Structure 1
Amino acid sequence: MKEDSWQARKRQIGMKSSLFICFLMCVAVWSKADPAPARQDAAAVAAPARESSWQDMKRLDFTVAGRPALVIVPDKPLPGNPWIWRTEFFNAFPAADIALAKKGFHIGYINMENMYGSPDAMKLMDAYYDYMTREYRLDPKPVLEGLSRGALFAFNWASRNPEKVAGLYVDAPVCDFKSWPGGKGTGKGSPEDWKRLCQAYRLTPEQALAYKKNPVDTLLPLAKAKIPILAVVGDDDDTVPVSENTAVVEKKYRKLGGPIRVIHKPGISHHPHGLLNPAAIVNFAFRAAGAVPPVRVVCIGDSITFGAGSNREERWSARLQNALGEKYEVFNLGISGTTLQSKGDSPYTAKDNYTIARQIEGDIILIALGTNDSKPANWKNAAAFSRDYETMIKELRTGNPKAEIYCLLPVPAYPGNYGIRDSIIRGEVIPAIRKVAGKAKCRVIDLYTPMKGEGSKVPDKVHPNGAGHAIMAQHIYKAITGRKMPE
C-alpha cells in the first residue's frame, strides 16, 4: 500500500515537472515572437547613448527595448523641449526636420522597420515615449510625423494615447492598409509588404481585409481631443491614392469636429515628400506644440529683389532680416528677369519660386514686380497687368487669408537699360499697382520716391547697389513695423 502511494506521488511530481518545462519552452517561444516589451521601465531597456553629428547638430544613438533609437538635440532648445517624432524613414526628405531642429525642436526616432503600426510597434513606441520624456525631459506631448506607411504608426499610437499627442503631420499618408500595401483599391499595392504586414499584425489576409482598426476607423479619440492634423499630399499619388486614404480621413475627421488641413500638390505623385519649402510644416508644428513660430516674410520679385548688383548681405531682404531679428524669417524669392504678367516673356507665376511662395503661406508678403513688365515686348496694357496682379494676390491669400500683403512700387530706371522704360514704370505701372492695392485692400510701399534722384546708387541704370538697397530696406522696415530702422 505504501509502495503504491509512493509510485503515485512520483507520477504526480513528474507530471508537474513536465508541465513546468513546457511552460518555460512556451515562454521562450513567445519571447521570440514578440520582440517589443509590454510597458516596462524605460531606463531598464535603454543602452547608453553614442554621440555623433547630424546636420551640424548633436545626434545621440542608443537602444530602447532592443531597438535602435536616436534623438537630435538642437543647439538652442525651445522652452519646454518640444519635439517632433518621426515614426518611419528617418533622414528621408528631412527638410522639415532640419528646419525644426535649427529652430529649437528635438527630433525623435525609434526603428520599427517592417512593423507597419502593428500592436507590437505600439509597445515599442510606449517604451520609447517613456524613455524620452523621462530621461531627456522632452515635452509630454510630441508632434507625430508620419511619412507614407509611417502614418500607420502615428495615427495608431495617437488614437491609443490622445492625451500624449500635440498634433499629427502626415505626408502622403497610408490611412488604410487595404489600400496600401493591400492594393485592394485603385493603387498599385505591394504584395511583399502585404504579406509582411499580415505577419506583423498576426492576421490572415482575410482577417486583414476585415480589420476595423485602421486610421480611417479610429479617428474619434483624436477628434474628441481636438488634435490638429496637417496632411500633405500629391494629387497624382497612385501608390497611396488620396481618395482612399487622406480624403477619407479628412471627411470623417471634419464630421467628427476635428481640426484638419490638407495641402495639395498638383501634378505630384507619392514622391517627393514634403514641400519645396517646409515653412508651413514648421509653422504647424510650432502651433501644435504651443510654441510661437517665426513670422514668415515672403519677398516676391525680380532681379532687384534677388539682389543683382549687390552682395548677399547688402540686399534689402538681408538687411530686413537683420533688423527684424530672430522672431522673423525672411525668404528672398526674387528671380531675375521675371514679369508679373502671365503673358510676359518670363512670368514669375510659372517659376518654382512662386510655388514656394504659396507653400510658405507667409504672414507678411512683399510683392516687388513690375519693372520688367515695362519692356516693349511685355507692356500691352494696364488692364492685363492689373488682372494678373489681382489674381496673384488672391492666390497668395488662399494659404493664409490673414496675410498682410504689401505692394511695392518699383524703383526708378535711369533712364533705363535692358529695354526697361522709366516712363512706363512711372506713368502706367505705378498707377496700376496703386489701383490694385486699393481694390485688394493691400498696403503700398513707395520705393520710387525715395530712390528718385539717387542715380549714383543705380550704376547700371536699373539695379540698385548696396547703398540703394539700404534705402529700400529702411522704407520697407518702417512700413512693416512703424518704426525707424535701427542703425
Structure 2
Amino acid sequence: MIKNLLSICIKWILIMLSTITILFAQSKGKIYCIGQEFTTGSAMFMPEKNNFPAQLGGMFGKDYQVFLNGKDVVTNAPISIDNHVLKHLDDLNIKKGDFLILDLNHDVDFSQGDDSKLLKNITSSINKGARVVLLHTPSNSYEKQQLSARIQLQTLAFKSNCEIVDLSPALYGGDAYLDKEKRLTSIGASFVAKRLYELIKTPVTGASRIKIKNGKRESFYGFSSETFDFEGKEARVVKPKIVAKGSPWIWRARFWGHEPQLDIAMLERGYHIVYCDVSELFGNEESLQIWNNFYKFLQQFGLNKKAVMEGMSRGGVYIYNWALRYPDRVSAIYADAPVLNFKSWPGGQGKGKGSPENWEIFKQVYKLTEQQALNFKDAPVDRASEIGALKIPSIHVVGDVDDIVPPDENTLPFAKAYIAAGGKLEIIHKPTVGHHPHSLADPTPLVDFLLRADGRKLNFAAIAAAGSEYRSGAGWSPNMGWWGENDDINRILDSKKQQLDILFVGNSITQGIGGTRSHLPYKPGYTAFESVFSSYKWDCAGIAGDRTQHVLWRLINGKYKEAAPKVVVVTIGVNNFLDGDTAEEIVAGILEIKKWIRTNMKNSKLILTGPLPVGVESTDPRRRKYEDIHRLLAIQAKDQCWIYAPLSDTFIKADGNLSLDDYSTDGIHLSGGYTKWAQSLSKIIQKALGE
C-alpha cells in the first residue's frame, strides 16, 4: 500500500516537473518590431534574411521570439492582428518582459492626432510591464522635416516615458550602412540588430531614484531633466528611462548641452547625466569643494561611487583636478579639446591665441600675480605623471589644427607623461578640425570606450551572428550575397560527409583559396593550395567580410559537425578590426570558435592561426593589435587540445615590414603570398595527421 502510494506520488511529481519545464520553455520573451521600409528592409538585398528583426532573431536564437509586423521572423507564423499594427497595439497581447520596438518615422501623422492614440497604447504597454522603444531613423526627407520628426518622437518619449534610441548619428557615419537614397542596407541592419541586442541584454534595475525638490522638469531630447539650485549654483540631473545595473553616471563639467550626442547615447544605455555649474573657477579649490558637496548630495540616491568625467575645452582642467583629488570617485575620463596647460590657454604663451580676459580671471580665482601665473606648476599637464599613475582609463578627442587649445601644448605632452606613468589614454585625432566642433558626429567610439572602462561593453566578437555582406566587391557571383555563399558551403559539406581531410575556414583571404566552390569567379590562391595539398581531399569555407562571430554562427548552424573533416584550419579576426574590437575581444571570439569545435567536432584536429599579419609597414597601428592578439593567443596555446600556428615568421621580414610580393597594398589581402601560406601550413597539417 505504502509502496503504491509512493509510486503514485513520484509519478505525479515527475508529471508536474515535466509540465513546469514545458511551460518554462514556452514562456520565452517576445520582441515585437513594428515599422515600414526601415524595419522590413524592403529595399535591401534578401530582406527576409537581412532585415534587422531577422538578424536580431538570429542573434537571440531560442531566448526570444521576434515578430515583424505580426509575423514570427523564424517561422513566419502570423499572430492575430491586421497589418495596421500602429492602431492595434493592444491586440499584440503584450506581457511583462516583452519588448515593443517602434519605427514611427514614416508611419505617424502627428498633425492628425496619431500621437495621442500612440501615447495611449504605449502607456498601456508600459503599464503591463513591457519595454517600449522608439527608434529615430535616417530619412531622405528634407532636413527641416527630419528635425521635426525627431522633436515629435522625443516629445512622445517624454510624455509616455518610453525609451528612445537615436540611430541616425551612427547610421549616417557608418560605412555602407545606408544606400544612396538613405535607405537601410543589410550591413546597416546588422548595426541596428546589435544595438537592440545590447539594449535588451543590458542588466537594468528600474526607474531612477533621484527626486529633486522644487526642480524645473523639462525634456532633454526625450529624457526627463531637472534643473535646480544647489548652494547657489545651477545644477541639472537627467534621468535615463531605465537605470542600468550599478547606477552608472556621467558628470559633465562645462558647457551644458553643447554637442550632446554622447550624453544622449549614454542616457539610452541607462546612465544618468549630471551637471553642477562652477564656471570660471578653473578647477580651483572652491570649485572642488562645491563639487564634493554635490557628489555627496547625489550619493544619497544610490548612484555608483564612481562617475565618468566629461570635460570639453576648459572643462578638461576641472575633471583632471577632480580625478587627482578623488581618484576613487572616477571610473573613466572623456576630455574633448581639453585645456590642460594654463600658460597655453588662457595665457597664450605658446602658439595658441589665448584669452586675456580669462587669463585675468584665472589669476584672480587662483590668487596669483602675473609672475606667479607664468611660473604656475599645478596644471594637469604638470601633474600628468601623477594622474597617469592612478590608471584611470582616459580618452581625448582633439582637432589637429586647433589654434585655441593647441594639442601639442596640451593633450600631446600630457598623454606622453600619462602613458609613461602606466596610464591608459587613447587619442582620437580630427586632422582638419580646429577647436570646434567638439565631440564626434557619431559618438560610437566614445561610447564603446566608456562602456569598456565601466566593464559594461558587450563583446559582439564572441556572440554568434549571421553575416550580411552583399556587395559585389566580396568576389561572389551575382545575387549570391553572404547567405548564398553560406548555403553553397553547407551544400559542399553535406555532399562530403566523412570524406574531407582538410577544411580551411575563414574570411576573404581563405575564400581566395576557392576549393570546389561554384560561385567564386576569383580564386587567387587555388593553384598554390592545390599544388601543395593535391594528395589530400580539401575544401574551402571562407566567406568575405566574416568576423569571428560570423564563423561561430556558421559552425553552430551549418553542416561542419556532420562533415567531420580530419583537420580544420581557422584563420579569422582581421575584419573585427573594422568594428573597433579590441585584441582581448577578438581573442575571446576566436576562443569561442575553438570551444565549439573542440566540443562538437572532437575527432577533428583544430589548427588556429588567428589573423594573418596585417599592415605593410611595422609602424601601421593595426600591427600593434595583431601583435596583442597573438600575445594573448600564445598564452592560451598551453591548451593541448588544439594547435596554435601563428604565421608571423612566414610573412614578416627582418625589418618588420611585409613584402608587396606577398601582400596587396591594403596590408590585409594576399597577392603572391598564397604559396608561402600553403607551404607553411603543409608541415603543420602533416604533423596533425600524424604523417
Counterparts of 1:131-170 in structure 2 under 5 Å? 131-134=297-300, 136-170=301-335
Q: How far does the alpha carbon of each residue in 1:162-201 deviate from its partner, in whole angstroms, 9 at most, with x for none? A: 1111111111111111100100111010111111121222
| From 547, 565, 580, the counterpart of 1:361 | 580
| From 222, 225, 233, the counterpart of 1:56 | 222
Structure 2 equivalent of residue 116 of structure 1: 282
Structure 2 equivalent of residue 238 of structure 1: 403
The 2-side partners of 1:52 and 1:279 are apart by: 26
Could you say what the CA RMSD is over the residues aligned between the two structures, in angstroms? 3.9
% identical aligned pairs: 37
The 2-side partners of 1:139 and 1:98 are apart by: 19
| From 404, 409, 414, the counterpart of 1:249 | 414
Change (3 A) 1:95 1:207: same
The 1-side partners of 2:232 and 2:373 are apart by: 28
Q: How far does the alpha carbon of each residue in 1:212-242 deviate from its partner, in whole angstroms, 9 at most, with x for none? A: 2100122344333311111111111111111
Change (3 A) 1:117 1:397: same
Counterparts of 1:374-453 in structure 2 under 5 Å? 397=622
- Matching residue's letter, 1:111: D
The 1-side partners of 2:309 and 2:396 are apart by: 12
Counterparts of 1:270-309 in structure 2 under 5 Å? 270-293=435-458, 295=460
Structure 1 equivalent of residue 262 of structure 2: 96
Structure 2 equivalent of residue 74 of structure 1: 240
SS of residue paired to 2:243: coil
| From 330, 340, 352, the counterpart of 1:175 | 340
Bigger relative contact order (CA 8 A; separation at least 6): 1
The 2-side partners of 1:53 and 1:256 are apart by: 43
Structure 1 equivalent of residue 427 of structure 2: 262
Deviation at 1:100, TM superposition (A): 1.0
Change (3 A) 1:436 1:122: farther
Deviation at 1:438, TM superposition (A): 8.8
Change (3 A) 1:167 1:399: farther
Structure 1 equivalent of residue 160 of structure 2: none
Deviation at 1:436, TM superposition (A): 6.5
The 2-side partners of 1:140 and 1:437 are apart by: 56
Q: How many residues are paired up?
A: 298
The 1-side partners of 2:268 and 2:318 are apart by: 25
Moved more, 216-225 or 294-303: 294-303
Moved more, 288-297 or 84-93: 288-297
Deviation at 1:48, TM superposition (A): 3.4
Change (3 A) 1:434 1:166: closer
TM-score, normalized by length of structure 1?
Answer: 0.54
- Matching residue's letter, 2:255: F
SS of residue paired to 1:218: helix
Moved more, 190-199 or 212-221: 212-221
SS of residue paired to 2:359: helix
SS of residue paired to 1:219: helix
Change (3 A) 1:435 1:358: closer
The 2-side partners of 1:94 and 1:280 are apart by: 15
- Matching residue's letter, 1:121: S
Q: How far does the alpha carbon of each residue in 1:99-122 deviate from its partner, in whole angstroms, 9 at most, with x for none? A: 111111111111122222122111
The 1-side partners of 2:347 and 2:473 are apart by: 53
Change (3 A) 1:438 1:54: farther
Alpha carbons 2:253, 2:311 under 8 Å: kept: yes
- Matching residue's letter, 2:296: D
The 2-side partners of 1:47 and 1:219 are apart by: 40
SS of residue paired to 1:194: helix
Alpha carbons 2:346, 2:359 under 8 Å: kept: yes
Structure 2 equivalent of residue 84 of structure 1: 250
Runs of 4+ in 1 over 6 A off after TM superposition: 296-305, 357-360, 436-439
Alpha carbons 1:64, 1:128 under 8 Å: kept: yes
Structure 1 equivalent of residue 197 of structure 2: none
- Matching residue's letter, 2:307: P
Alpha carbons 1:276, 1:359 under 8 Å: kept: no
